Structure 1
């Protein structure tokens, strides 16, 4: 009996060893991929490493709507909402300073000032689609319609000490006013008699041929006339006119 059992015991030991060997091999083969995955991939739910630029909390890429908005040109500085809010124009004074008014986009007229004999209001309105710039005052001279030249024309005094902005900004639809007093002292006997008021809205950028002629009536007395600077209201234009003390040089 002992002789027969020894081979069985040996066989059993061999079988057990084989099973353990197979289990070990199977364990090594299965653990390699799992171990590799645990090293190369973060645990489930763990955030991926973030670049330094995202530490402030900003998204890595802006949403489509934000990207489109950022690519649109911004409105010009100083532009206001409404009809004047146009690209590069509207109420943007900086734009007006570098874009002289086009004579074709100006409405110019001269009217008597109510309650002020001898005073005329020069109105220059911007009828264009963008803001533009005028010189600080119009070029005005008084003469007769029959005059063949300007040798006998009368020029008004203007305020001195001009400075500041390079031009008078005129927004879309806005009107600039300049007031002229043809005869501040109310003289009659010593005054020159004229019948025409000539206006060049922007002498710095317009040619003399762009001068407009406005009838004054028969033999209007003119003596030491005064002209104010462009202003946004008639009241302010009158105040400017009363300070005129410098001969016109244009």
Structure 2
């Protein structure tokens, strides 16, 4: 019985001690646990891996470029043929599609066979002091395409029916082809220097026709020239073939 009372008393004392400790902690007078942090724990920052940069497909290689003489560049797909240069026939001859090109510039091969005519030339008559009784005919291509001065000029003095005779010994080795701006020459022997000619007269007008390639008739219309006053002609008047220079015409 005594022992039971001692146990109850001990239990009551223990309970009182617990209540006393709890009251002290509630009033702020208890001890502080130094092992516990007084502020919230700081989170350890985490590092995110950078987002992968998307890779792009390599840019296609540029098409081949050609640089012309002016420094400009033109781009064309591979396998595209170049347009032919002006004045060329792309390697094709007559009868093989080479008659025309795509540049708008006529080919020499197409136009050189065309006989010169008065519609695209200028004809000048010039009397000469040496040799005596000589004059020079100069024909200049004023057109935009080449032409050929075939054979000798076909001349008529005033209203004569017969053409002036041609000096057959003056025939050149090749036909004279005139590109735009170029000239050909033919010399006229107006009268015999020793006075041996017949039917002498003073001529006032000279009509100049151009011969075709086959030398039959004339090509195109004529050029009509007024002769200087006192131009004397006779039965020995003649003209040379067209030549490429004055020296050849006079020789």
Larger radius of gyration: 2
**Greater helix share, structure number:** 1
Contact 2:176 2:244 in 1 (8 A): no
Paired position in structure 2 for 1:139:
154
Offset, 1:114: 3.5
Contact 1:76 1:87 in 2 (8 A): no
Paired position in structure 1 for 2:250:
238
Contact 2:154 2:209 in 1 (8 A): yes
Paired position in structure 2 for 1:50:
none
Aligned counterparts, 1:101-120, within 5 A: 101-120=116-135
Paired position in structure 1 for 2:183:
175
SS in 2 for 1:138: strand
Paired position in structure 2 for 1:158:
167
What per-residue deviation string (whole Å, max 9, x for no partner) do you get for residues 202-242 of structure 1?
Answer: 133535x5241332423614231231111121110112xxx
What per-residue deviation string (whole Å, max 9, x for no partner) do you get for residues 120-160 of structure 1?
Answer: 100100111221122221111224xxxxx424x56223215
What per-residue deviation string (whole Å, max 9, x for no partner) do you get for residues 91-144 of structure 1?
Answer: x4x44432233523211110112322311100100111221122221111224x
Paired position in structure 1 for 2:76:
64
Paired position in structure 2 for 1:226:
238
Contact 1:177 1:231 in 2 (8 A): yes
Q: Distance in 1 between matches of 2:230 and 2:172?
A: 38
Misfit runs of 4+, over 6 Å: none
Tell me: CA distance 1:217–1:234, structure 2 relative to 1, closer, same or farther (3 Å).
same
What value does the CA root-mean-square deviation take over the aligned residues? 3.2
Q: Distance in 2 between matches of 1:195 and 1:237?
A: 22
**Greater strand share, structure number:** 2
Aligned counterparts, 1:190-209, within 5 A: 190-204=198-212, 205-207=218-220
Q: Distance in 2 between matches of 1:237 and 1:73?
A: 38
Offset, 1:190: 4.0
Offset, 1:65: 6.6
Q: Distance in 1 between matches of 2:164 and 2:188?
A: 11
Q: Distance in 1 between matches of 2:247 and 2:172?
A: 21
Q: Distance in 2 between matches of 1:155 and 1:185?
A: 17
Q: TM-score, normalised by structure 1?
A: 0.52
Offset, 1:199: 3.3
| Structure 2 unpaired stretches of 5+ | 1-74, 90-103, 213-217
Paired position in structure 2 for 1:87:
105
| Structure 1 unpaired stretches of 5+ | 1-62, 78-85, 144-148, 240-250
Contact 2:155 2:164 in 1 (8 A): yes
